[in-house]
């Protein structure tokens, strides 16, 4: 259980750094960024299902929605446009940050109850 949240924390931090470097023009980092993002979505999906099993319905349901939304919104940004900040990019970063925060909430629901 602890391993899941630790992975989300590490991958989340690296995703933010890689995302910023991507935005600045390092397009070779796209694959690594998407791979880590997909892993985060999968981990949060698993945590959300575990939270639902523990009857933490609201965070669990939000977790399911965000874990599906993250890849969809992420891919909607393609093709890459460097140094721009379209609405979809702002939404993407918001969803990314929210899912990392929500993972902590899901972890506490799974651990305590």
Q: Which residues bind ligand HEM (CB under 6 A)?
A: 12, 15-16, 19-20, 22-23, 33-34, 37-38, 40-41, 70-71, 74-75, 77-78, 80-82, 89, 92-93, 96-97
Nearest residue (CB) to ligand HEM, 21 versus 49: 21
Nearest alpha carbon to residue 113 among 41, 66, 46, 50: 50
Q: What are phi and psi of 83, to 5 degrees?
A: 60, 20
Nearest residue (CB) to ligand HEM, 46 versus 93: 93
Residue 102 C-beta: closest distance to ligand HEM, Å: 11
Nearest residue (CB) to ligand HEM, 58 versus 85: 85
């Amino acid at each position: 259980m602890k391993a899941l949240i630790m992975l989300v924390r590490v991958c989340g931090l690296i995703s933010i750094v890689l995302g910023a470097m991507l935005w600045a023009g390092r397009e070779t980092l796209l694959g690594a960024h998407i791979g880590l993002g997909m892993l985060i979505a999968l981990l949060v999906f698993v945590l959300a299902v575990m939270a639902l099993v523990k009857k933490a319905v609201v965070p669990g349901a939000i977790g399911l929605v965000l874990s599906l939304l993250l890849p969809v919104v992420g891919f909607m940004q393609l093709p890459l446009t460097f140094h721009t900040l379209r609405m979809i990019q702002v939404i993407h970063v918001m969803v990314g940050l929210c899912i990392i925060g929500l993972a902590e909430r899901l972890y506490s629901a799974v651990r305590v109850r």
